[in-house]
Structure 1
């Protein structure tokens, strides 16, 4: 696939990013894609390897290697190289519902497993996919595909994040009548309110949702299933129900002073900012109230993952006086270690856009490794004003053999803080939903199903996405939605062609 000597002739090139000090002035996407002719050269770099791990999409050493959707990566790269973007779009559509989302927010599991990555730089598969889907939209190839025949079967989907949307698209095109319930005021779930505009413009999301509406999918917003509407009503009025409501139970930091004002969970904070931008309409600016959350304040972000990075970038755009990001674990190696060989996911240091912006604005990386909070200190009005932090060190548990991070005596210190954002991940599903449907959950509170199955302990009720597998990536959520749709279709029809 590609040009047999392409990986030798062409260097890896990716989209150009607006300079950090410029892009922090707005909340828009800030990368300019390559011209299509240049993107074709990137497709040429696909090296016709014997075993394309890029499309393997399964677990190695506890982490995914390759694309979970099993996208036909070498084939689409080859079609990009040859300039046949329409065929590339048709080929990509066989396995992928929403390449416009993953080509912006996915960490590119395909590229990490690319054979070119063994001794060089991987093929820019993620940006090749973006070129494919955006060209398809621009050329009018992406059109509504309503089913020619309806089955008369009705399916309710709780949650309109990536897994819910993927299941809805598949089941609707199969001919079933699909209604998607979303508790927020707008559809999109995590894609809408959990991912900032800088990574995913909401117009990209709206474009796809409007297309799905034209195909016949019904979206009901502002309805919280389990509170505003009873589970029994859905199970009675629909032939099948899919729970795709995410792992939205955030992990808290339980230390003295946690009840202080101006301490937020990361997603709540990011949601406030995104909603303010959306509510402002064409102004595309946040309200004074939202800006005041971080403006002129010392911001403390607890958590070193993607959401923590999003909090760093968002706080800077709101005018934070400083940003500090705490990470409990040791600083990763800058290169692969012998215990982390290709094609495993590379556990290496990554400096993302938010950290880049913090370095440009404040002159240093905001991350402090092997550190945690032990106490929040309030001012006279009950708002957080300081945080006590302490260094950590890894200590092996003699009973379990696991490494635990324990405080280092004498390393405690106090830092000034005006806003705290907790980005420590999620613990699993929210109890009011699972209890409303009376489905069994496992030890991590994810909806329990039989191995390789998506049907819960309650007949006719299925689960997909983070509520099923736990907190994960958008690409995994899309795969879960597709697989759950296949399971639902088989249960309704006795067979499936999804």
Structure 2
């Protein structure tokens, strides 16, 4: 624990933020780190709670609560409070290979399960986590640690997102020769091309990748396995394969006018922006621009928020975000959403703050369902037609959205971004490897075992579980590496 009375003496404080009106003029990190003393006080708020539910990941009522990688949160909170930063870094790395990724881009289900959160603002766990790893890099404590011996076994990891990177890191620790295949031109998967620069910089991703390379991992980009690299070679060149290619098939919106120009998947918008930004600082023009446009983002989650922040930086003309759900309350519903469930409360994230600074108000419209798109004579979208809805639970427990008569509305739009998630993984490689799938198209592999029907082929992350969190991807990548090591060696020392 931290200081015995710390949770009574200190208030919750998370990372500070740059002025929203100023930070939208660049693509730099929108946050400002706390001082060491401020972070120590946050660590001091950690309680001697007996059962630290923060560090045990669970799924309750369809949402994650607690940390899926079983982070040793009370331990490193206490060490930070005592000023033992290097020891805190060591404990942080025990269960999480990449605390910088979770510290920057995880929704912090650990905080939702914090015992202090029952009647006080929870411990600022993610802020402490990020502060530890950034201090570690700044001090030069994060260094390559290649294995002392090699087993001679070769493993292919397909996909370089968080699941693939975690699997590769763990297998390399066990002494295997690991090659990571990535079909994009840069390593990182959605860490690189799905999360904007101001939220998770590519430099942060590459900082870690360079260490993995120095530890002996080989990365091959611009290579799609099954197309650029034949499956026959994959099976003959490697002793085992772990599939971590993610869930990349976009969920579509099947309404009238969907075929109109100017309607794009959110991830295509974000991907093209980041690639152009990294390639040429947007000078090549190879991206979907929101400049001067009336933009509507359909989807109220994190990806939608990233679209808001990106559109503001493009200098869009107007900006609205549709959320099909009602606006949530400021505090959790103790009956319908009791602790330790992840708190379903109203949040104002960085993108909404930036949109409000640019246009004067929060951009969200709640309980809105899109009915159709209308275009001009050239086939460009010009309007979005909507209706408000209310949620009703059917007799069989299904969720039914009923339209509210008289709430129909027409919105101007010449750029529409669909941020409604992913339906599953691409089936090309799955079929070429003859791997069985579940009814929802994900790879059939039991959680905790990760073995497919094909001997020596494993699956982890979103490709196995469907669209999920970075922290679940790291969890599955680590555990799949453990089972792969067991398959190769007959036993394993990996956690």
- TM-score norm. by structure 2 comes to 0.97
- The answer to whether structure 1 residue 339 and structure 2 residue 336 are counterparts is yes
Deviation track 1:90-146 (CA, whole Å, cap 9, x = no partner) reads: 111111100011111111111111111111111111111112111111111111111
Residue 416 of structure 1 is matched in structure 2 by 412
Partners of 1:100 and 1:345 lie apart in 2 by 22
- Where does residue 10 of structure 1 map in the other structure? 10
Deviation at 1:477, TM superposition (A): 0.5
User: Post-superposition shift, 1:368?
Assistant: 1.1
1:170 match:
170
Contact 1:329–1:405 under 8 Å retained in 2: no
Question: d(CA) in 1 for partners of 2:162 and 2:276?
Answer: 22
Q: Identify the residue that residue 122 of structure 1 maps to in structure 2.
A: 122
The alignment status of 1:195 with 2:195, answered yes or no, reads yes
Distance in 1, matches of 2:312 and 2:3, equals 43
TM-score by length of 1: 0.97
Show the counterpart of 2:376.
Answer: 379
| Deviation for aligned residue 1:290 | 5.2
**Aligned mates of 1:325, 1:287 — CA distance in 2:** 28
Q: After TM superposition, give the deviation of residue 406 of structure 1 in Å.
A: 2.9
Query: Do the aligned partners of 2:448 and 2:479 also contact (CA within 8 Å) in 1?
Result: no
Question: Which one of 288, 295, 299 corresponds to residue 291 of structure 2?
Answer: 295
1:257, 1:376 within 8 Å by CA — same for their partners in 2?
A: yes
- Report matched runs for 1:308-327 at 5 Å: 308-327=304-323
Count residues in correspondence. Answer: 493
Equivalence for 2:156? 156
- The alignment status of 1:467 with 2:463, answered yes or no, reads yes
Question: Aligned pair in 2 of structure 1 residues 152, 288: CA closer, same or farther (>3 Å)?
Answer: closer
RMSD, aligned CA: 1.3
CA–CA separation in structure 1 for the residues paired with 2:107 and 2:397 = 31
SS at match of 1:415: strand
The whole-number CA distance in structure 1 between the counterparts of 2:127 and 2:326 is: 31
Whole-Å separation in 2 of the counterparts to 1:451 and 1:57? 14
Q: Which residue of 2 aligns with 1:241?
A: 241
2:163–2:474 contact (8 Å) kept in structure 1: yes
In the TM superposition, what is the alpha-carbon distance from 1:451 to its structure 2 partner? 4.7
Whole-angstrom CA distance in 1 between matches of 2:357 and 2:235: 53
Aligned-partner Cα distance in 1 for 2:41–2:405 = 55
Distance in 2 of aligned mates of 1:25 and 1:477:
32
Q: SS state of the match for residue 277, structure 1?
A: helix
Measured in 2, the distance between the counterparts of 1:220 and 1:406 equals 49
| 1:436 correspondence with 2:432 | yes
Task: Report the CA distance between 1:359 and its aligned residue.
Answer: 1.4
Structure 2 vs 1, CA of residues 401 and 134 (structure 1 numbering), >3 Å: closer, same or farther?
Answer: closer
Distance 1:483-1:323 versus aligned 2 partners, 3 A rule: same
The whole-number CA distance in structure 2 between the counterparts of 1:397 and 1:154 is 52
CA contact (8 A) 1:230 1:436 kept: no
Partners of 1:424 and 1:352 in 2: CA distance: 17
Note the alpha carbon deviations across 1:67-96, whole angstroms, 9 max, x for none: 111111111000000000111111111111
Residue of structure 2 equivalent to 1:32: 32
- Does the CA-based 8 Å contact 1:298-1:320 persist in structure 2? yes
State how far apart, in whole Å, the 1-side matches of 2:232 and 2:155 are: 14
The answer on whether the counterparts of 2:272 and 2:287 sit within 8 Å (CA) in structure 1 is no
3-state secondary structure, aligned to 1:295: coil
SS for the counterpart of 1:365 is coil
What CA deviation, in whole Å up to 9, does each residue of 1:371-395 have, x standing for no partner?
1222211222221111111222223
- CA shift at 1:269, angstroms? 0.5
Larger mean CA deviation between 349-358 and 406-415 belongs to 406-415
Match of 2:204 in 1: 204
Cα deviation, residue 9, structure 1: 1.3
Q: Secondary structure at the match of 1:477?
A: helix
Shift of 1:288: 6.5
